[in-house]
Amino acid sequence: MQTDEKEKIIMEHVLGKKKKENLEMALDIISMTQKIRKDIIKSFLEKLKGFICKKLDMSQLDMSQWDWKTELDYTSHGNISLSFGVSNQDEPISILLQSYGKVIYIGVFTDNSMNCLKNRLDNKFGPGKSEAPWWFWYQPLKSSNREDYADWTHKDTLIKMHTNPDCVVKDIGNRLCEIIEVAKPVIEEWVDQNPSDQ
């Protein structure tokens, strides 16, 4: 169905004569849009975290020195952050999934110079950006099969995350695990060579 035709049907349904209940329902839904998105994404991230932990455990990757950091901030731009991270001298190094405005990125967050890691990630996953000082290497989120999940406010993405979460969790989780497997040994070697003073 074309957009114009769909809009016409929705407007007739909501604003048609003697349709007060439909209008009330539409306005209630509008007022709850952020809550609906937040609930879908929060539930999805919990499933994603479980998937990643299980997959990394099965891969026998020791993540015991790495911490999960999860943030959901819907007070400003609806930002989210889900990451594995280690710290050295109060400088975090994280492999993360993070939104910036509407766009979801996957990458490595650090202020440290780790050109060897950037080269490995570029070779394995294609060129990553590093324009912002805190993003050492990042790409808009795509799954292993190149499905684009970069905008989590997009209707189709939210519907997939809610109606078929296991499929989306697997797509995104596998992509994040691939990056963790490539980046983890390089990051840990860097941390070993630059011990914390604390």
Q: Does position 75 have pLDDT exceeding 50, yes or no?
A: no
Helix axis angle, 115-125 to 165-193, nearest 10°? 150
Tens of pLDDT, residue by residue over 25-64, are 888 888 888 788 878 888 888 888 888 888 877 777 777 7
Where do we find the tokens 């993003």? Answer: 135
Average pLDDT over residues 69-74: 58
Q: 138-148: per-residue pLDDT in tens?
A: 887 765 555 66
Confidence at residue 166, expressed as pLDDT on a 0 to 100 scale:
92
Encode pLDDT of 1-33 as tens digits: 677 888 888 888 788 777 788 888 888 888 888
In the chain the first and final C-alpha atoms are separated, in Å, by 62
Rounded CA-CA distance 96/175 in Å is 11
Per-residue DSSP letters for 25-72? HHHHHHHTHHHHHHHHHHHHHHHHHHHHHHHHHHTT---TT-EEEEEE
